[in-house]
């Protein structure tokens, strides 16, 4: 049997070389179909990675909730303790000062900068891609001066970030420890994260504030994570609201703010639709290979009959005809993969020149796309070769030798 398989493969390659014109004709449909399938897999892989990075950088890691309290909190430590009891793993205040400070560096004064107060844990809730410097650390909370991380637009406007001052009534020296890459959902064009610390407590929380906001990341397997409206998490908090001076449970609100799963689902459905179109195109290529295979068998009846007369087994002929179709399809698959690789490489360079992609996200052809492309090509070739091979076996040896 092994000898028959080997002989069949040898005959298949010989037949392919002897019929170059038919081989090229058969390749056309397969190249288009496999190329479309490879591009769909590549685009889907890029879309999934981009969706994850975009969501984590702009909104937060999976299962991130925004919690709002529309009332004065009398005991903030008790409130944060109850956030953890309710299921919070990483907790950070997300508070905009009621009276935003002004920022300056030397003589450059920028009055329209938006500040948001956060904790060190915000770096665990949201993917912070640093362009320069670092994110906040626990040691920064002991600083006697306000500590900032600014976005790239604000850093460019300030110029010298070593001479920064902020203030509402009087100027305070501030330390800028890092510059974070700007994202599509920055809360302002020029924005700054202000670390909550004893030096900024009064700036972030005034007695007139009636709203406090936090961002909380919970376990994605937590039942509360499956509730986008945050009702379950809100009910957990409301049961102990008396501990931190909030009597009206209606003043509590929480909702899931991360969009990663939604973006991934959209990309997944789009990929399925495009894959369906690619499969239809590939099926057209299969019919082309099948057609050429039937014509080839009919024109090679004398050749195949001679092989049978010289002692070739039925398995050898079957393998020869099927493998000829597989070889043609694999050649087409290789051409398609190489063409797609060139297209993806060019597109990647164009995209890099036009937009800034999230860190770690590049447009490239994944190994899965190559495997899907070559695997589908071989599978289509095998299917397209079965019918011509069965017809070749049914042909009469005597009739074939008389032609």
> How many CA atoms does the CB half-sphere of 131 hold within 13 Å?
16
Q: Look at strands 102-105 and 108-110 and give their pairing.
A: antiparallel
Q: What is the pLDDT of residues 114-158, one digit of tens each?
A: 899 999 999 998 888 888 999 999 999 998 899 999 988 889 888
| pLDDT given at position 6 | 53
Question: In this prediction, what percent of the chain has a pLDDT beyond 70?
Answer: 77
- 8 A C-beta contact, residue 22 and residue 298: no
- Which residue is listed with tokens 């009739």? 399
What separation, in Å, do the N-terminal and C-terminal C-alpha atoms of the chain show? Answer: 30
Q: Give bridge partners of residue 68 from the DSSP assignment.
A: 213, 253
Distance CA 71, CA 403 (A): 97
Q: Taking the model in full, what pTM does it have? A: 0.65
Task: Look over the chain and give the mean of its residue pLDDT values, rounded to a whole number.
Answer: 79
Nearest 5°: phi and psi at 130? -85, 130
pLDDT at 7 over 50: no
Q: Give bridge partners of residue 172 from the DSSP assignment.
A: 166
Q: What is the pLDDT of residues 261-303, one digit of tens each?
A: 666 677 677 777 777 777 777 777 777 666 666 666 665 666 6
Q: Look at strands 147-151 and 175-180 and give their pairing.
A: parallel
Name the residue with higher pLDDT: 180 or 228.
180
Nearest to 134 by CA among 144, 145, 146, 120: 120
Helix (H, G, I), strand (E, B) or coil at 284: helix
Dihedral (CA of 70, 75, 80, 81) sign: negative
| pLDDT given at position 261 | 66
Distance CA 235, CA 237 (A): 5
Q: What is the pLDDT of residues 383-393, one digit of tens each?
A: 877 777 777 66
List b or e across 127-149, with b for residues whose CB sees 16 or more CB atoms inside 10 angstroms. bbbeeeeebbeeebbebebbbbb
Question: In this prediction, what percent of the chain has a pLDDT beyond 90?
Answer: 17
Q: What is the pLDDT of residues 42-68, one digit of tens each?
A: 888 888 787 777 777 767 788 889 999
Distances (CA, A) of 309 to 187, 306, 314, 322, 323: 81, 5, 11, 20, 21
């Amino acid at each position: 049997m092994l000898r028959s398989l080997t002989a069949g493969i040898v005959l298949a390659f010989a037949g392919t070389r002897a019929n170059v014109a038919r081989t090229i004709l058969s390749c056309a449909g397969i190249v288009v179909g496999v190329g479309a399938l490879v591009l769909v897999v590549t685009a889907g892989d890029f879309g999934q990675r981009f969706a994850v990075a975009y969501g984590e950088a702009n909104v937060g890691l999976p299962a991130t909730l925004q919690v709002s309290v529309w009332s004065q909190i009398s005991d903030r430590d008790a409130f944060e303790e109850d956030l953890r009891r309710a299921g919070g793993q990483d907790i950070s205040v997300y508070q905009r000062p009621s009276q935003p400070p002004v920022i300056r560096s030397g003589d450059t004064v920028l009055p329209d900068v938006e500040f948001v107060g956060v904790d060190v844990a915000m770096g665990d809730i949201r993917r912070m891609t640093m362009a320069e410097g670092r994110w906040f650390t626990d040691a920064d909370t002991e600083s006697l001066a306000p500590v900032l991380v600014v976005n790239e637009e604000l850093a460019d406007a300030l110029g010298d970030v070593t001479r920064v001052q902020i203030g509402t009534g009087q100027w305070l020296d501030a330390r800028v420890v890092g510059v974070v890459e700007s994202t599509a959902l920055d809360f302002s064009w020029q924005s700054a994260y202000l670390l909550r610390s004893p030096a900024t407590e009064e700036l972030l929380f005034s007695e007139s504030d009636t709203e406090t906001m936090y961002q909380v990341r919970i376990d994605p397997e937590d039942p509360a994570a499956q509730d986008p409206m945050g009702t379950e998490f809100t009910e957990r908090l409301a049961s102990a609201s008396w501990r931190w001076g909030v009597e009206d449970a209606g003043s509590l609100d929480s909702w899931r703010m991360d969009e990663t799963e939604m973006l991934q689902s959209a990309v997944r459905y789009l990929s399925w639709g495009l894959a369906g179109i690619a499969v239809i195109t590939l099926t057209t290529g299969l019919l082309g290979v099948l057609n050429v295979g039937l014509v080839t068998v009919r024109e090679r009846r004398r050749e195949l009959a001679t092989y049978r007369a010289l002692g070739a087994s039925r398995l050898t002929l079957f393998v020869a005809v099927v493998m000829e179709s597989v070889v043609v399809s694999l050649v087409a698959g290789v051409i398609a993969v190489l063409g797609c690789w060139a297209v993806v490489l060019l597109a990647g360079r164009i995209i890099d020149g036009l937009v800034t992609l999230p860190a770690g996200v590049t447009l490239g052809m994944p190994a899965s796309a190559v495997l899907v492309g070559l695997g589908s090509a071989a599978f289509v070739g095998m299917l397209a070769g079965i019918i011509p091979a069965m017809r070749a076996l049914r042909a009469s040896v005597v009739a074939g030798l008389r032609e």
